[in-house]
Amino acid sequence: MLKQYTLLATLLVGTSTIYAQSKLEGYLFNKNHEAVPSGTLTLKNSKLATTSDPNGYFKLSAIPTQKVTLNISAVGYRSFSKVISLDTLKSPLQIQLEEDNLNLDEVVVSATRYGVKRKDAPVVVNVIGPKLFNATQSVAMSETLNYQPGVRVENNCQNCGFSQVRLNGLEGPYSQILINSRAVFSALNSVYGLDQIPTSMIDRIEVVRSGGSALFGANAIAGTINIITKDPVENDWQVKSTNSLIGGKSWDNTVDFNTSTVSEDLKRGATFYGMHRNREAYDANGDGFSEITKLRNTTFGTKLFYKPSDLDKITVDFSTVNEFRRGGDQLDKVPHLTQITEQLETSSLVGGITYDHYSTDYKQKMSLYGSVQKTVRDSYYGGLGGGTTLADSTLAANAYGKTN
């Protein structure tokens, strides 16, 4: 009987030891000892992978060997590998990540249409992120693109404020604007769309100054501008007010917000963003005609995700834009009683759904997506032009239009 008890105790101890050696757990944190969520951890030469939770905690189970190489990566931090012996590991790992100030290890998607480290990309990809948004106090995408080499945003109409972005000197129609690597930014929206996209919804902007027609369509002759929207990765919120005085006499006031929430298991999350901008018209030389248009813009949007499993992800996004802009003279009068006026009222709805499926080693991904967009624009371009006859008034009154 004594031998039986001894054998049973030995089996229990052995089972416990094998279990302890077959799992790997720990925490990711930065130099300020703050948790790093959504970090990716994979085992070299294995299909095992996981991500860190909002507390920076991660766990890998059922590891077949006692000595492994752990690959660690996270957005904004340098990627590296660490060799670990499980048989000598007595407590959870404490892994400190180093910030990647040059963003060389940042993953970009605009060079090859799939994720690749920026330093390994076959073409130069310039990345604009929140640091530049804050440094330049940019409230819309158009205000920050000028800070990239080979990129110029120019205003081509003082009446309507139409702007276009030039890559390598080529005009706007030769550049492809993408949202999350997809050409859902229509030609109608692109006319004034650079001012309608708030920086509060943008995670980063990837700029490729070379032809990419084979990857992104016929318009990508000069290059591509890929707007990557924010994904919810942690519970946070931000409200910001920006006020500026143009030429000492015209106010430009903006209020925007961004908030996100994520479940503890990182299976569900949502982010909400919005912007309200009110800009007065600006007359630079006192001739009675505006050089910068009057603008009222309200933007709201959301992005939600759900992960049915570790290998599947469903994302739904929606945004709405309502904008009024007007330029010319005598802005207090109805448009057809002025000398020249261009006025536009735009209402736009954009929605989409994406399904992503990853292979077990996270090296392959299949994506299915669909999107819908509706834009209605009421416009006026005309005026009396100095005329006072009935024919002049009739012609001016017939300058209203509508575009769908």
What the chain holds in terms of domains, given with CATH numbers, is 2-96 (2.60.40.1120), 107-403 (2.170.130.10)
Amino acid identity at 317: D
Give me the pLDDT at residue 306, please.
95
Helix, strand counts (H, E) of the chain: 5, 23
Global pTM reads 0.76
The candidate with the shortest Cα–Cα distance to 277, out of 205, 198, 189, 194, is 198
For residue 89, what pLDDT is reported? 80
Amino acid 16: pLDDT: 40
Task: Read off the pLDDT of residues 87-101 as tens digits, 9 standing for 90 and up.
Answer: 888 788 899 998 877
Dist CA 277 CA 123 (whole Å): 36
User: According to the model, what pLDDT value does residue 8 have?
Assistant: 41
**Cross-strand partners of 182:** 179
Is residue 89 within 8 A of residue 68, CB to CB? The reply is no
Residue position matching structure tokens 């890998």: 60
d(CA 35, CA 310): 21
CA dihedral in degrees (138, 215, 371, 132; nearest 10)? -10
Spans in the chain with pLDDT lower than 70: 1-21, 102-105, 187-188, 213-214
Residue corresponding to tokens 């009987």: 1
